């Protein structure tokens, strides 16, 4: 059964980060996401592997494809999670996902009788400026992505190294990594009798999109950043199309990344008997999205939760000083929709159960979130909606599992009317101020007129003695051009 799992991993702060701002509480606001699993800074590599990769290896051996994608800003820990400190030389505790996947794969294959005939092939490619480069043969710098009935999506002409054991695999991976891997694919196939069963594991280290914003990059670096952004945005569009009812127009072909990941993301119409089922599902096995992060401060609220797998990440936060937050949010929005494709929740471990907080089901939660925010946006400004979000979170309205949909709706209305009444009060206060100012203006005008009359009378008395009668107004207009202004 298809499944998309979304995890976040917080790495420990480095010594320098601790010195600069690690001890300070710089939080202005919390960021709250929900994930299938949160790995905190004390999580071991084995915890991450056991949760997200073990099922993928088991699926691959049964001929089901699996994909692990890491996404995050520079220095967040993508490579550490994937490869550990070094693909070849690192202690057991720090060994990354790639090595563990390889070890487990060979152990399982070698111990499985039904897998007496198997073969494992490994390819490594990098998508660079929308060209697929072969990291095991750098002369192949523009490989084509093709599709066949038997193989599904494949990279035509990519070097496939036959691997007999895990140390061969790691040597080969290390060679490819030295050629600067962005994406890595590890493919395993097996044959038995006349049946051919192939499972593919794709391991992807997505480049971060923040580079262009933070560095003001130019030239080639800018081109690089733009293509990275484009492929991330196409990834979002693909997931969007799969989840929002236009599966006939899924733009897999708009980027090399999505084309390669098509098997992992593909939507497939499910037929049940003679009647077509309503849903679209992922055809492949598990796709895992791992977001490595630093455990730092935050500025904005976000929340989402998923059916039977909702986690409240209380007080978990990170710095947006270098986080391309809007990119993450857009991606996140797509990812939360991805969850809607999933039809059968997987059972989770007791450890996971102990930290999770199931809320509403994914449809309910997403509908509810959209409804609340759309309602508020109709009547309030964006900043006000942000404030209300803050209020909701502080009051625990959104996330308290005891709140019903009706409670939340009514809380939303209360908050909106509270906002309206504050605004009405402000208008009343403004009206009073305007009235006071009008009165003051009137009073000043009166004083001015009196003063003008007095001045006119005095002038008339003086002129009358010499010239006879001259109207006061005429005197005042004669004197004004010379700067005379009566008190």
Ligand X SMILES: Nc1ncnc2c1ncn2[C@@H]1O[C@H](COP(=O)(O)OP(=O)(O)OP(=O)(O)O)[C@@H](O)[C@H]1O
Query: How many CB atoms are closer than 10 A to CB 334?
Result: 20
Contact with ligand X (CB under 6 A) among 79, 159, 166, 305:
79
Min separation Cβ 52 and ligand X, Å: 14
Smallest Cα–Cα separation from 186: which of 250, 304, 253, 100?
Answer: 100
Task: Give me 228's structure tokens.
Answer: 């990275």
Tell me if 183 contacts ligand X by CB under 6 A.
Answer: no
Window 114-173: residues binding ligand X (CB under 6 A): none
Task: Give me 115's structure tokens.
Answer: 């897998």
d(C-alpha 313, C-alpha 270), whole Å: 34
Q: In the chain, how long is the greatest CA-to-CA distance?
A: 134
Contact with ligand X (CB under 6 A) among 55, 66, 72, 236:
72
- In sequence order, what are the residues at sequence separation of 6 or more whose Cβ sits closer than 8 angstroms to the Cβ of residue 302? 31, 32, 33, 329, 332
Positive or negative torsion for Cα 74, 75, 80, 86: positive
Min separation Cβ 215 and ligand X, Å: 12
* Choices 58-66, 78-86, 187-195, 348-356; region in contact with ligand X by CB under 6 A: 78-86
Contact with ligand X (CB under 6 A) among 8, 64, 76, 398:
76
Min separation Cβ 168 and ligand X, Å: 25
E strands, 252-335, where?
267-272, 275-282, 286-294
Task: Give me 56's structure tokens.
Answer: 């993928």
Answer whether 288's CB lies under 8 Å from 204's CB: no
In the block, tokens 């002129």 appear at 463
Smallest Cα–Cα separation from 268: which of 252, 286, 248?
Answer: 248
Find out whether 66 is annotated in a ligand binding site. no
Residue nearest ligand X, CB atom distance: 77
User: Environment class of residue 256 by beta-carbon count within 10 Å: exposed (0-12), middle (13-18) or buried (19+)?
Assistant: buried
Is the Cβ of residue 297 or residue 368 nearer to ligand X in the bound state? 297
Find out whether 78 is annotated in a ligand binding site. yes
User: Environment class of residue 64 by beta-carbon count within 10 Å: exposed (0-12), middle (13-18) or buried (19+)?
Assistant: buried
* Choices 76-84, 224-232, 280-288, 458-466; region in contact with ligand X by CB under 6 A: 76-84
Task: Give me 281's structure tokens.
Answer: 């599902």
Min separation Cβ 53 and ligand X, Å: 15
Find out whether 75 is annotated in a ligand binding site. yes
Min separation Cβ 116 and ligand X, Å: 38
* Choices 67-75, 126-134, 360-368, 467-475; region in contact with ligand X by CB under 6 A: 67-75
Window 3-62: residues binding ligand X (CB under 6 A): 11-12
Tell me if 232 contacts ligand X by CB under 6 A.
Answer: no
Contact with ligand X (CB under 6 A) among 27, 29, 40, 75:
75
Min separation Cβ 294 and ligand X, Å: 9
Is the Cβ of residue 290 or residue 411 nearer to ligand X in the bound state? 290
Min separation Cβ 346 and ligand X, Å: 24
Tell me, residue by residue from 363 to 392, as one string, x for binding to ligand X by CB under 6 A and - for no binding: ------------------------------
Smallest Cα–Cα separation from 316: which of 41, 129, 20?
Answer: 41
Min separation Cβ 77 and ligand X, Å: 3
Contact with ligand X (CB under 6 A) among 5, 60, 66, 77:
77
Window 192-231: residues binding ligand X (CB under 6 A): 208
What DSSP letter does each residue of 195-255 carry, written as one string? EEEEEEEEEEEPPPSTHHHHH---HHHHHHHHHHHHHHHHHHHHHHHHHTT-GGG--GGGS
Tell me, residue by residue from 416 to 455, as one string, x for binding to ligand X by CB under 6 A and - for no binding: ----------------------------------------
* Choices 75-83, 146-154, 422-430, 457-465; region in contact with ligand X by CB under 6 A: 75-83
Min separation Cβ 181 and ligand X, Å: 10
245-253 long-range contacts, CB within 8 A, separation 24+ = 247/280
Contact with ligand X (CB under 6 A) among 23, 85, 473, 485:
85
Find out whether 267 is annotated in a ligand binding site. no
d(C-alpha 457, C-alpha 451), whole Å: 10
Answer whether 294's CB lies under 8 Å from 317's CB: no
Find out whether 76 is annotated in a ligand binding site. yes
Min separation Cβ 210 and ligand X, Å: 10
d(C-alpha 366, C-alpha 364), whole Å: 6
List interacting residues with ligand X (CB under 6 A): 11-12, 72, 74-80, 85, 208, 292
Residues annotated as binding site for ATP?
Answer: 72-79
């Amino acid at each position: 059964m298809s499944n998309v799992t979304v995890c976040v991993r917080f790495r420990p702060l480095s010594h320098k980060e601790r010195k600069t701002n690690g001890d300070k509480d710089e939080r202005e606001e919390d960021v709250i996401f929900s994930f299938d699993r949160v790995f905190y800074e004390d999580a071991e590599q084995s915890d991450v592997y056991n949760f997200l990769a073990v099922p993928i290896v088991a699926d691959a051996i049964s001929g089901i494809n699996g994909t692990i994608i890491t996404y995050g800003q520079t220095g967040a820990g993508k490579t550490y999670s994937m490869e550990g400190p070094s693909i070849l030389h690192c202690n057991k505790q720090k060994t990354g996902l790639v090595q563990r996947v390889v070890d487990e794969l060979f152990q399982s294959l070698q111990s499985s009788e039904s897998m007496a005939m198997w073969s494992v092939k490994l390819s490594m490619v990098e998508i660079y400026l929308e060209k697929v480069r072969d990291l095991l043969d750098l002369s192949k710098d523009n490989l084509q992505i093709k599709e066949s009935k038997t193989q599904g999506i494949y990279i035509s002409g990519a070097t496939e190294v036959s691997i007999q054991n895990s140390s061969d695999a790691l040597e080969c991976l290390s060679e490819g990594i030295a050629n600067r891997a962005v994406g890595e694919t590890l493919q395993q196939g097996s044959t038995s009798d006349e049946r051919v069963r192939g499972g593919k594991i794709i391991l992807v280290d997505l480049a971060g999109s923040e580079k262009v914003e933070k560095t003001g990059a130019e030239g080639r670096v800018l081109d690089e950043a733009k293509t990275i952004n484009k492929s991330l945005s196409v990834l979002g569009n693909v997931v969007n199309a799969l989840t929002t009812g236009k599966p006939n127009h899924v733009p897999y072909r708009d980027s090399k990344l999505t084309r390669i990941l098509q098997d992992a993301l593909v939507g497939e119409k499910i037929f049940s008997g003679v009647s077509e089922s309503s849903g679209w599902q992922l055809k492949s096995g598990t796709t895992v999205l791992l977001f490595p992060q630093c455990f730092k401060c935050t500025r904005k609220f976000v929340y989402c939760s998923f059916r039977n797998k909702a986690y409240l990440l209380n007080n978990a936060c990170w710095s947006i000083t270098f986080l391309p937050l809007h990119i993450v949010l857009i991606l996140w929005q797509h990812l939360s929709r991805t969850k809607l494709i999933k039809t059968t929740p997987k059972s989770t471990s007791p450890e996971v159960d102990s930290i999770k907080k199931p809320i509403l089901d994914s449809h309910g939660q997403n509908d509810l979130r959209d409804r609340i925010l759309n309602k508020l946006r109709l009547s309030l400004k964006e900043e006000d909606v942000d404030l209300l979000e803050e209020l909701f979170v502080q009051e625990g309205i959104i996330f308290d599992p005891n709140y019903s949909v009706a409670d939340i709706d009514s809380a939303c209305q209360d908050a909106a009317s509270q906002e309206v009444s504050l605004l009405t009060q402000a208008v009343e206060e403004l009206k009073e101020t305007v009235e006071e100012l009008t009165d003051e203006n009137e009073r000043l005008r009166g004083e001015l007129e009196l003063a003008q009359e007095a001045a006119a009378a005095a002038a008339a008395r003086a002129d009358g003695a010499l010239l006879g009668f001259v109207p006061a107004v005429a005197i005042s207009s004669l004197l004004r051009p010379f700067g005379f202004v009566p008190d």
